[in-house]
Amino acid sequence: MLINYCRKFFLFILLCFFISHNVLATDFVSVKEKKAILYEGPSEATKKKLIITEGYPLLVIVKLKEWLKVRDHEGKINWIKKADTSTKRTVMTIRVGVPIYNEASSNSNRLADVEDRVVLKLSSPLVTDGWANVKSELNDLKGFVSSNDIWGV
């Protein structure tokens, strides 16, 4: 009886691990086309909701063969053609004046301030101590931003 209980408990713990792993795993994509359309459903026949531009990061909620159900930085949920996205990681600033620092510390040299809704290339998907390593494609600027100031990680 104790062995049966232990077996059930072990299976429960294992199930919880797999469920939490899938919930905690974040899968972001970026828009690879100059302009891409977000749809109400997984079909071009559904209502077109929004046009978004290249680099925009989106959180993947559901994957179908040719479509992705995604959430944007405002929490809106739509569908996008999988062919219009890339696995190359980007982030987007979510406020005005986001500072980019030379190192992962607000005590390091401040390299620049970035405007709201600017797309930056994510150099590494890892966020260390609340800092993300980014690169600006416009001026080849490399540095660190606080993960609280960006969407896409």
**8 Å CB contact between 31 and 53:** yes
Question: CB within 8 A of 127, min separation 6: which ones?
Answer: 147, 153
pLDDT digits (tens, 9 = 90+) for 96-115: 999 999 999 999 999 989 99
Which amino acid makes up residue 77? I
pLDDT digits (tens, 9 = 90+) for 108-151: 999 989 999 999 999 887 788 899 999 987 788 899 999 999 99
Q: What is the pTM of this model?
A: 0.76
pLDDT digits (tens, 9 = 90+) for 30-47: 999 999 999 999 999 999
Question: CB within 8 A of 55, min separation 6: which ones?
Answer: 30, 31, 90, 92, 119, 121
Q: Structure tokens of 10? A: 């072990």
Q: What whole-number distance in Å separates Cα of residue 70 and Cα of residue 3?
A: 44
Q: Structure tokens of 35? A: 């302009």
Q: What whole-number distance in Å separates Cα of residue 135 and Cα of residue 38?
A: 26
**How does DSSP classify residue 24?**
H
CATH of segment(s) 28-86: 2.30.30.40
Q: What whole-number distance in Å separates Cα of residue 30 and Cα of residue 81?
A: 12
Same-fold call for 28-86 versus 90-151: yes
**8 Å CB contact between 77 and 70:** yes
CATH of segment(s) 90-151: 2.30.30.40
Ordered by start, the domain boundaries in the chain are 28-86, 90-151
